[in-house]
A and B are shown apart, each in its own frame.
Chain A
Amino acid sequence: MKEQVRDTEAAVETATPAPVMLPLTQHGQILALQRSAGNRAVARMIAQGSVLARDTTTVEKFVREKTLGADDVTWTARFDVRFDEDASTPTCWLTINVKLNPDGVTDDDLQMCRMRVRSRFNLLWDSKFILHEHRSILSDREWLLRPEVAFVDSGQHLTVTLHKGRGADNRQNWYTESPEYTYAHEISHQMGLLDEYANDSVPDRAVYTDHSIMGDYYTEGMTEAAAKPRHGERLAALIGAATDKNLKSRPR
């Protein structure tokens, strides 16, 4: 069995790449491997999962909001994306890895926070947008955008400290008694989304009062807060730039 694995790996390494001008789809890659390595070798690789391993791209964007004061609002948005065209619905997975550090809170507090973050974030963001990929030679295709939050011990895109009680949350500091909408708001910044509530010291900010999760959902009504088409468009632009795809977003 070990021999077969080694043979397979060798086959992958020495396989002659198919002469193509554009990045192949997964299906195309498999066909190319079948031509070079043979059907049986490819079947073994599929069984082992080696062919189906998807490439992950880390999207990174430095964001700055100019203020009238001495300090601008700045942060680096960072998350992973992975395109899975073999899913029953071709899917773009957007994953934010968060490391949650405790500050005087219990393990139960941490666990509760993780659950609240993931549930609210999923309700707000999961499967809300379709990314339409325009291709110049091949036919266009569409991806279901599925943002998710993963809590990790290492390899994080964002480190958050969880404090006890109530307070003023920001992207990197959360409080145990904060509304889960606030967690979702803060973590949405990690996808490169901007605040949309009015701030006199940020005169260039685009302000919206349409129940945006990035707006003043405190007065507009938390339960009505939602992701907006402009958010999908911004995500499409960021993901497209990082993955060299021509992407446009539309609500699902």
Chain B
Amino acid sequence: MVAGPPPLQDPSSALEVSVGHEHFRNGEVTLSVDGTGAMRVVQLRSGTEREWEGRLAAERVAALSDELAALDLRTVSARGGGRDPDDDPVRLVLRSGGEAHEAQLWHADRFEDERLDRLLERWQALTEEITEGALPYGDAT
């Protein structure tokens, strides 16, 4: 068990979730949220980057912090073994107080791990909100 401060509790803390392959579907889609509520989505598709920005109100940052803390993301890990074709890599980074926790995960593990499933649901919902539905699974190929 790796304990750590709750995510997004101070302005310098941040959550970063990247999902996808650069050369398939809508590419690699990275959502970043920091403790100030600043949000950014970066799409990397076949060498081209596109960027969207947004902001969460303070109460939504607090709610997101509670939600992420309940998921205890520092203990989420990948299921070992072979991966099905087209499974998307998931990179999770939690930054706080100058330290970073990073985990390499897989999208399909969400079906076995409810915490990862909830994290990816949040990633998808926030990404759709910032990009107005273009990402992660809209028409922004």
Contacts and interface: CB of A to CB of B under 8 A. Distances in A.
Given A69-B104, A199-B21, A218-B26, A171 B86 contact: yes
Given A71-B80, A189-B85, A199 B137 contact: no
B25 interface: yes
B84 interface: yes
A80 interface: no
Contacts, number: 87
A140 interface: no
B111 A71 contact: no
Interface in B112-141: 124, 137-138, 141
Contacts of A219: 45-46, 141
Contacts of A175: 137
B69 to A, nearest CB: 25
A192 to B, nearest CB: 11
A172 interface: yes
Contact of B82 (A71, A161, A197, A216): A71
B25 A168 contact: yes
A166 B138 CA distance: 8
Interface in B13-38: 19-26
A95 B24 CA distance: 28
A169 B86 contact: yes
Given A170-B108, A218-B141, A75 B84 contact: yes
26 contacts: A64-B82, A71-B80, A73-B82, A73-B83, A73-B84, A73-B85, A74-B81, A167-B107, A168-B20, A170-B84, A170-B86, A170-B107, A170-B108, A172-B84, A172-B108, A177-B137, A189-B86, A194-B85, A197-B24, A199-B24, A216-B24, A218-B24, A218-B25, A218-B26, A219-B45, A219-B141
A166 B19 CA distance: 14
Nearest to B88: A168
Interface string B83-110: 1111111000000000000001011100
A221 B100 CA distance: 40
Q: Name the prevailing secondary structure of the B interface residues.
A: loop
Query: Can you list the 10 inter-chain pairs with the closest CB atoms, starting with the nearest?
Result: A74-B82, A166-B137, A198-B23, A168-B88, A170-B86, A170-B84, A171-B84, A218-B141, A170-B87, A168-B107
Contacts of B87: 73, 168, 170
B138 to A, nearest CB: 8
A84 interface: no
Q: For A171, A177, A200, A218, which residue has the most chain B Cβ atoms within 10 angstroms?
A: A218
Contacts of B45: 219
B21 A167 contact: no
Contacts of B71: none
Nearest to B111: A173
B85 A71 contact: no
Contacts of B22: 198, 200
Contacts of A169: 86
Contacts of A166: 124, 137-138
B84 A197 contact: no
A170 B25 CA distance: 11
Nearest to B24: A197
Q: For A64, A71, A177, A186, which residue has the most chain B Cβ atoms within 10 angstroms?
A: A71
A70 interface: yes
